[in-house]
Amino acid sequence: MTDADDQPSRLARSLLPDPTLSFTLPSLHDGIAIDCRVYHPQSLDPSPSSPPWRKHAAVFAHPYAPLGGCYDDPVVDIAAGTLLKLGFLVGTFNFRGAQGSAGRTSWKAKAEMVDYTSFVGFLSYYVHYLDPFRQQSVPTTSPISEAPDYMGPHGGSRPVTPSASHEINKSPLFLMGGYSYGSMITMQLPSLENILHQFDTPACSSHAAEIRLRAQHLAEVQNTTLGSARAAALEHQANMLSHSPTGMRFGGEESSRKHHHSRLSFSHDTEERIHKGVVELMAKAKSHKRRLSGKDHSFASGDAAQDTRETKHQPAKDSLPSVPDRVVARPAYLLVSPLQGLINNLASFNLLPRRPSWKGLTRSMSSPAATASPTGELGPGFDTAMSLEEAEAKLVRNPTLAIYGDNDGFVPVRKLRPWAARLEGIPNSSFRAHEVSGASHFWAQGRAAYTLKDAIKTFAESLLAKDGS
């Protein structure tokens, strides 16, 4: 193998650090355990000089598991590492049957789509609860003066910055993406609002409740750990300032990559701690509902694998309460080497069954369900079994980048070009395509991997620029 052939692996190794969290989640499909990783950005470094945590997040999915795809794939590392460096909290996971995840790859990929939505639900709630520095402020160069504060969205105080007055009114980004088979699953995902609707008031015995409580527990552990580390750093900084007659600080501060105390890797002990935390949160939720009702309700037990119609319509006392003021994110999509045409049918037996007409796609974009949500996504009552028209309309309504090579051996560029042109040509389309000359499906020729990294960086920066981040 030449040096150029090994380029994606070398580039990826330089981008992703060790994950902050490694754990498993039950899939909403059937409860099997899927391996997950979460990477914290620099803004969650305990150092007082870290940039503010803006709650931007991204999920990126891997290629086809039977062909060796998993979250260690070099292209996944390039995409995830690029987004992480730009300030996104990044999550990756293994579909069923990939590497350490339980189960096996399904024939129609519908189970994998639910694996993806399971992790999206987790990461959304994890980001919502993750706020370790909300009651801490950075001391000024004068040890006896204090910076003016404002009340944060959760009641805590933060130092005022030039953007503080409008920061709390911004919606963070939630980017969903994938490479190859992972991009195909991304395309077929329900809207972000539809996905999160499943977690709003889930039955206590359901997998959705388990996922939501795991997200809350892990976020609270990180809040305690990172908050304590930040408090210690602030105290140390204040002590240094108090011993300096000019209030000046000398020397630098260690990077977050040297703080290993906040990292959590999967083990049986870790799983037991997570399970214990979930049980405690469930007990608190039930106790809270009993206090609100003034009655000592007993909660029905059930099989967590039975997310049936009866479970969904159980009385409210058997469900988790909805989370007030939950963070509402703006969706965006990233498709690397998307699969179109014949390869879709071979990989998933018609997961995306038919090509939409221009009229049908426009109708999907302008339907009442599509315009009801403030995020521009389909409403929660919309059927999650999406047709191709609906799936593609989601990509047109929300910022989307599809990047592919003109030397893709899996999907001929003659199929990709008209597909991309059709979506880009729809009035007010937010879909953009980037064709890379000489790039193959694996991004291993010449400088293709660097071009891929730069394209992802440019796309993500454009999203952040609109946010003002």
Q: Show the tokens assigned to 323.
A: 């989370």
Angle, vertex CA 83, rays to CA 77 and CA 85, nearest 5:
95
How many whole angstroms from its chain centre is CA 380? 19
- pLDDT band with cut points at 50, 70 and 90 for residue 292: low
Return the higher-pLDDT residue of 237 and 436.
436
- pLDDT band with cut points at 50, 70 and 90 for residue 390: confident
Q: What is the mean pLDDT of residues 433-442?
A: 96
pLDDT tens string 6-16: 556 555 456 89
Q: Show the tokens assigned to 293.
A: 């009702």
Q: Show the tokens assigned to 417.
A: 């070009």
For 98, residues 6+ apart whose C-beta sits below 8 A from its C-beta are 35, 62, 65, 69, 70, 71, 105
pLDDT at 247: 43
pLDDT at 417: 96
Residue 161, pLDDT > 70, answer no
**List of E strands, 304-457:** 330-336, 400-405, 431-436
Task: Report the b/e string of 27-40 with b at 16+ CB within 10 A.
Answer: bbbebbbbbbbbbb
Q: Are the C-beta atoms of residues 404 and 338 closer than 8 Å to each other? A: yes
- pLDDT band with cut points at 50, 70 and 90 for residue 312: very low
- Nearest Cα to Cα of residue 67 among 424, 410, 427: 410
For 391, residues 6+ apart whose C-beta sits below 8 A from its C-beta are 187, 188, 189, 352
Other CB atoms within 10 A of residue 243 CB: 8
* Mean pLDDT value across the chain: 77
pLDDT at 267: 59
- Nearest Cα to Cα of residue 238 among 137, 139, 135: 139
Of the given ranges (38-47, 213-222, 240-249, 379-388), which has the lowest mean pLDDT?
A: 379-388
* 342 φ, ψ (degrees, to nearest 5): -60, -40
Alpha-carbon gap, residue 194 to 33, rounded angstroms: 23
CA distances from 347 to 167, 244, 384, 441 (A): 43, 65, 21, 15
Work out the end-to-end distance of the chain between its first and last CA atoms, rounded to an integer number of angstroms.
Answer: 41
pLDDT at 42: 96
Q: Show the tokens assigned to 274.
A: 């997570």
Q: Show the tokens assigned to 82.
A: 């690029």
Return the higher-pLDDT residue of 379 and 11.
11
Residue 145, pLDDT > 60, answer no
Q: What is the mean pLDDT of residues 382-403?
A: 80
Q: Are the C-beta atoms of residues 200 and 306 closer than 8 Å to each other? A: no
Residue 41, pLDDT > 90, answer yes
Q: Are the C-beta atoms of residues 34 and 95 closer than 8 Å to each other? A: yes
Residue type (1 letter), 430: S
Residue type (1 letter), 149: D
Task: Report the b/e string of 303-335 with b at 16+ CB within 10 A.
Answer: ebeebeeebeebeebbbbeeeeeebbbbbbbbb
CA distances from 10 to 59, 442, 444 (A): 22, 14, 11
**If you write DSSP's letter for every residue of 140-173 in order, what string do you get?**
-SSTT----EEE-TTS-EEE--TTHHHHTTPPPE
pLDDT at 221: 95
Alpha-carbon gap, residue 130 to 134, rounded angstroms: 10
How many whole angstroms from its chain centre is CA 87? 12
Q: What is the mean pLDDT of residues 222-235?
A: 90
pLDDT tens string 173-189: 999 999 999 999 999 99
Other CB atoms within 10 A of residue 344 CB: 22
Q: Show the tokens assigned to 317.
A: 């006392």
Alpha-carbon gap, residue 62 to 381, rounded angstroms: 29
- pLDDT band with cut points at 50, 70 and 90 for residue 244: low
